[in-house]
Amino acid sequence: MLSSIARTTFKPTTRIASRAFVSTWNAVPQGPPDAILGVTEAYKKDTSPNKMNLGVGAYRDDGGKPFVLNAVKKAEQYMIGQNMDKEYAGITGVPSFTKAAGALAYGDDSSVISENRLAIAQSISGTGALRVGAEFLNAWYPHAKNIVVPNPTWGNHIPIMKNAGLSLEKYTYFDKSTNGLNIDGMLEDLHKAPKNTVVLLHACAHNPTGVDPTKEQWDQISQVIKERGHFPFFDMAYQGFASGDCTRDAYALRKFVAEGHQVILAQSFAKNMGLYGERVGSFSVVCADAEEKSRIDSQLKIIIRPMYSNPPIHGAHIVSTVLNTPELKQEWLGEVKHMADRIISMRTKLRNHLENDFGSKKSWNHITDQIGMFCYSGMTPQQVEKIKSDWHVYLTQDGRISMAGISSSNVKYLAEAIHNVTKD
């Protein structure tokens, strides 16, 4: 039986084989490498013992090694002891995770939680949260589907929003002449944007510039968003990484909620819990009341189900265990502060070496003024190319340095490299 099927099935193959083979995918062109992850690919191929990967935003300890937080290790040990099953989570994820994640972002005492009006779904980290959010806007935002993002912004924001069908423009953010925030330009652009535009805001530790608005500037931003009927979409990928304090870093989000904005939020635990590859985050919607929350929850499920059915559970259980166990939460908060402090100390050392050891005459104030994981160095694409070819230092084309990739043992080498490529 099998051999007769085989004979009839394979008969035509002899005819096809006699023609020149043309693959179905023949016309698919080679795409460019990813602007950030492509840097890691190039770094891996470099054999120099001095090489440094300052491209991707991933925290390293002072020995340059990936850092698994103690609170995370303890949570995993506890989970093994619990003999947990591997059943599917619900479409919106592990409830003990989403509850704790919402409280961490909005505050334990937030009315959105006590009044049961936060619709929240576990997501595939921050990227997945942004994508679910963009799909949600495309499906249900009652006005024109326009979103504005800061210039510059995290590169992936642009295809995420566009691929979900939103029309995207940029608003002024960074001032090259001061390496700081151009607040007047930002307010003006937000004022000029068509009414009801969705405004993407980095809640803290802006990527790639490391420049955040002050509290007073957030108040001004909130004001113009309100006046123009715009809608705030917060991206909080670095809670705790800006100041070392998760409450302080949630200032803008909580202030907007307190002022009556109905915000939406993409939250990530990649950086602040070191759970990069676990892909755990959340997308949430502040609703008017519990009845509205129930309707929004139902629509989030309808959006998520055909995309990936339901999220992975391991990372969510880690976060839930850490946040719901007081001693582990305390230890974790200390570890977040430790990571933020190590980055701050690298900023000070880098600037110090540039100015004092190598006598750079350029201004490097912005290295210590900027906050979070990144330093927007001001290096040109040519200088970035030169630091890569001559010094084996890898960073993104825009001159962004991932400060978390620097350690005590190579900060001086980096300063020397930067000085050499920037001195002319």
For ligand IK2, the binding residues (CB under 6 A) are 36, 56-57, 125-127, 154, 202, 207, 235, 237, 268, 270, 281
Nearer to ligand IK2, 300 or 401 (CB): 401
How far, in Å, CA of 286 to CA of 92, rounded? 16
Query: What SS3 class is residue 139?
Result: helix
Which of 218, 235, 249, 391 is labelled catalytic? 235
Question: Minimum CB separation from ligand IK2 for residue 56, in Å?
Answer: 4
**Looking at the DSSP assignment, which residues form a beta bridge with residue 82?**
none
Question: Minimum CB separation from ligand IK2 for residue 40, in Å?
Answer: 9
152 CB burial (10 A radius; 0-12, 13-18, 19+): middle
Q: Report which residue type is found at 22.
A: V
Nearer to ligand IK2, 256 or 353 (CB): 256
How far, in Å, CA of 216 to CA of 201, rounded? 16
Nearer to ligand IK2, 126 or 232 (CB): 126
Nearer to ligand IK2, 91 or 270 (CB): 270
Question: Minimum CB separation from ligand IK2 for residue 277, in Å?
Answer: 9
- Listed in sequence order, the residues at least 6 apart from 271 whose beta carbon sits closer than 8 Å to its beta carbon are 57, 58, 59, 237, 238, 241, 373
Question: Minimum CB separation from ligand IK2 for residue 128, in Å?
Answer: 7
Question: Minimum CB separation from ligand IK2 for residue 151, in Å?
Answer: 14
Of 247, 158, 228, the closest CA to residue 186 belongs to 228
Q: Before 208, cis peptide (omega within 30)?
A: yes
Q: Before 152, cis peptide (omega within 30)?
A: yes
Of 353, 326, 422, 320, the closest CA to residue 102 belongs to 320
The number of beta carbons lying within 10 Å of the beta carbon of residue 248 is: 12
160-169 — which CB contacts under 8 Å span 24+ positions?
A: 160/127, 160/130, 160/131, 160/134, 161/130, 161/134, 161/200, 163/131, 163/134, 164/131, 164/134, 164/135, 164/137, 164/138, 165/134, 165/138, 166/134, 166/137, 166/138, 166/198, 169/193
Of 80, 104, 86, the closest CA to residue 320 belongs to 104
Nearer to ligand IK2, 135 or 235 (CB): 235
How far, in Å, CA of 296 to CA of 282, rounded? 14
- Catalytic annotation on 337? no
Helices (H), 82-230: 95-106, 111-114, 125-140, 157-163, 183-192, 215-227
How far, in Å, CA of 416 to CA of 420, rounded? 6
Nearer to ligand IK2, 207 or 321 (CB): 207
Question: Minimum CB separation from ligand IK2 for residue 54, in Å?
Answer: 10
180 CB burial (10 A radius; 0-12, 13-18, 19+): middle
Question: Minimum CB separation from ligand IK2 for residue 50, in Å?
Answer: 22
Question: Minimum CB separation from ligand IK2 for residue 310, in Å?
Answer: 18
Nearer to ligand IK2, 67 or 154 (CB): 154
Nearer to ligand IK2, 201 or 285 (CB): 201
- Catalytic annotation on 154? yes
Which of 189, 218, 271, 388 is labelled catalytic? 271
Instruction: Name the residues annotated as catalytic.
Output: 154, 235, 271
